[in-house]
């Protein structure tokens, strides 16, 4: 794990003590600890999606699943993570369920966002022109006020135009143009009052959070040069829907 300072110089490098690992997202915790969503191929860790490491890179514990049963095909293993400093918020890609975990590995809350356009499902499937891609929660962030910001990608109305025949390549290097296939829904949730304060859909494929109220997306410019666009978010109004969380 390498940390860069604001001038992009290497501030620290820590080797995480794991065997075979397939990483996804991580969050930085107090006392230089790290929580990582990953598949770790050891007997005691493989069934759990969240892994806690101390400042030396040693794995302290693994948690995030009630039974620890592992199925690589289940999308619930892959998660977006965020932290409020004292606890970890976790959302499976395939279920809009906000879970709150203590650093000791105990689940203390779970809230489900119930939406007609996002029914929960288990297995992730490869993208093809035969059926529209299913929604996925791709980002979560807890701001200084304790509000939870989420990013959900879902199929654009003309998603098929962004899926090209097998073997073809787009400007993004594969057979999929993400900005044509997906839109992004941004939501702001108050977990204390169980309220959805705001919800909006952007005709952009937003990749994730940079910081509080900052998100980023990748585009290819006219000279075929990759560019990262940074978007600043603001909460200007409030729309409450208490029935959508439980």
Least confident of 143-147, 218-222, 242-246: 242-246
pLDDT per residue over 68-120, tens digit each?
566 655 666 888 999 998 999 999 999 999 999 999 999 999 999 999 999 99
If one compares 38 and 20, the residue with the highest pLDDT of the two is 38
Name, in order, each residue with C-beta under 8 angstroms of 145's C-beta and a sequence gap of 6 or more.
none
- List, edge to edge, every strand of the sheet that includes 50-53: 21-29, 33-40, 50-53, 59-63
Q: How confident is the model at residue 240 (pLDDT cuts 50, 70, 90)?
A: very low
Residue tagged 């977006």 (tokens) = 80
Instruction: Say if residue 21 is exposed, middle or buried (CB neighbours under 10 Å; 0-12, 13-18, 19+).
Output: middle
DSSP 178: H
């Amino acid at each position: 794990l390498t940390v860069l300072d604001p001038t992009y110089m290497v501030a620290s490098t820590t080797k995480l003590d794991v065997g075979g690992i397939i990483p996804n997202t991580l969050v930085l915790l107090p006392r230089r600890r790290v929580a990582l969503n990953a598949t770790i191929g050891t007997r005691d860790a493989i069934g759990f999606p969240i892994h806690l490491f101390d400042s030396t890179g040693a794995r302290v514990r693994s948690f995030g699943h009630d039974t620890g049963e592992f199925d690589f095909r289940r999308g619930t293993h892959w998660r977006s993570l965020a932290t409020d400093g004292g606890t970890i918020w976790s959302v499976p890609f395939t279920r809009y369920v906000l879970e709150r975990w203590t650093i000791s590995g105990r689940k203390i809350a779970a809230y489900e966002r119930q939406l007609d356009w996002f029914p929960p499902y288990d297995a992730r499937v490869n993208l093809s022109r035969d059926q529209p891609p299913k929604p996925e929660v791709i980002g979560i962030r807890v701001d200084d006020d304790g509000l939870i910001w989420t990013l959900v990608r879902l199929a654009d109305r003309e998603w098929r135009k962004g899926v090209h025949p097998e073997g073809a390549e787009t400007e993004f290097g594969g057979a999929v143009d993400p900005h044509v296939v997906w839109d992004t829904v941004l939501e702001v949730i108050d977990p204390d009052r169980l309220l959805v304060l705001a919800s909006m859909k952007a005709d952009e494929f937003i990749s994730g959070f940079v910081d509080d109220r900052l998100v980023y997306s990748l585009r290819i410019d006219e000279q075929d040069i990759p560019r990262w666009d940074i978007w600043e978010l603001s909460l200007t109004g409030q729309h409450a829907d208490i029935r959508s969380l439980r």
